[in-house]
Amino acid sequence: MAGTILNVFTIIFGTLIGITVGNRLSKQMQESVMTGLGFVTLLISLQNAWKTGNPLIPLLAVIIGVIIGELMGLDAAVRRFGGWLQTKAAQFSKGGDDAAQARTRFITGFVTASLLFCVGPMTVIGAVQNGIDPANIQLLAIKSALDFFAAMAFASSLGIGVGFAAITALVVQGGFALIGMALGGTLTAAGALDPNNIYLREMTATGGIIMLGIPMILLELKQPRLSNFLPALVIAPLLVWLASLLGIPVYF
């Protein structure tokens, strides 16, 4: 869990620096920063999505996953949680924002940063590796450095809500670390931690497609209910497993 704790602190520290810097930026400058972040996030999303060996897998995963997410109301639940967090941290909101603007800004920062920090192969592999070997924090250390700068950049425009995404990182990465502790030997023997593992590749590609919604939000093109797509991350490897079980080739 040491790697996860490190990641949590870097997210919080980056957020604090970002808020300090953001308070000194003009509204126009903040908008330009948001646009730049949108461009970079778009590139990262496309890179991850391109890792698929068969576009049908992430396509079906996204469609099935979002149907499940909509039926469960995941996005509404995440936003309610973000709103609850905002009420607890209202004193940290910018004085220039009214209550409605502060709430929207906080929730947007929390949801966007949570997805950015937790949807990706480094989250899964790094946390599981750290669960198997407590001394192995190399991958999470790299992720922590990246998340530090991302938190700083996002917080400069989206505010304190970005820092509360550290809670999401703690829960998600901590969960994967516990899986590593419990199933470490089995996962290692099965090659589950190989970045080229077919299950992990399709999950990464599906995550990249979901992350395409982040630049849409940052560029103010659309406000997709991204959290409703999260079940797709589970559906993708299940589809790969089902295809292998039925003898259907995944890669063509």
Model pLDDT for residues 5-48, shown as the tens digit of each residue = 999 999 999 999 999 887 787 878 878 888 888 888 898 889 88
Cα three-residue angle 252-204-213, rounded to 5 degrees: 110
Say whether pLDDT at 77 is over 80: yes
Domain membership of residue 111 (yes or no) is yes
With beta carbons less than 8 A apart as the criterion, state whether 209 and 49 touch. yes
Helices (H) and strands (E) in the chain, counts: 11, 0
Domain membership of residue 225 (yes or no) is yes
Half-sphere exposure in the Cβ direction for 212 (13 Å, CA) = 13
Note down the domain range covering 7. Answer: 2-245
pLDDT of residue 184: 60
Pick the more confident residue, 25 or 221.
221
With tokens 């469609």, the residue in question is: 63
pLDDT of residue 73: 93
With beta carbons less than 8 A apart as the criterion, state whether 118 and 112 touch. no
Say whether pLDDT at 245 is over 80: yes
Domain membership of residue 251 (yes or no) is no
Question: Nearest to residue 67, comparing CAs of 206, 229, 223, 226?
Answer: 229
Q: What is the mean pLDDT of residues 108-134?
A: 84
- Mean of all residue pLDDT scores within the chain: 84
pLDDT in tens, 81-114: 888 888 877 655 555 557 778 888 898 899 989 9
The two structure tokens encoding residue 70: 């909509």
Domain membership of residue 252 (yes or no) is no
Domain membership of residue 250 (yes or no) is no
Question: In the chain, helix, strand, coil percent, each to 5?
Answer: 80, 0, 20
Longest pairwise C-alpha distance within the chain: 60
Domain membership of residue 148 (yes or no) is yes
**Amino acid identity at 5:** I
230: Cβ–Cβ under 8 A, 6 or more apart, which residues? Answer: 65, 69, 74, 119, 210
Q: What is the mean pLDDT of residues 113-134?
A: 82
Q: For the chain, what is the domain count?
A: 1
220: Cβ–Cβ under 8 A, 6 or more apart, which residues? Answer: none
Ramachandran category for residue 56: left, alpha or beta (phi over 0 → left; psi -120 to 50 → alpha): alpha
Q: How far is the C-alpha of 18 from the C-alpha of 11, rounded, in Å?
A: 10
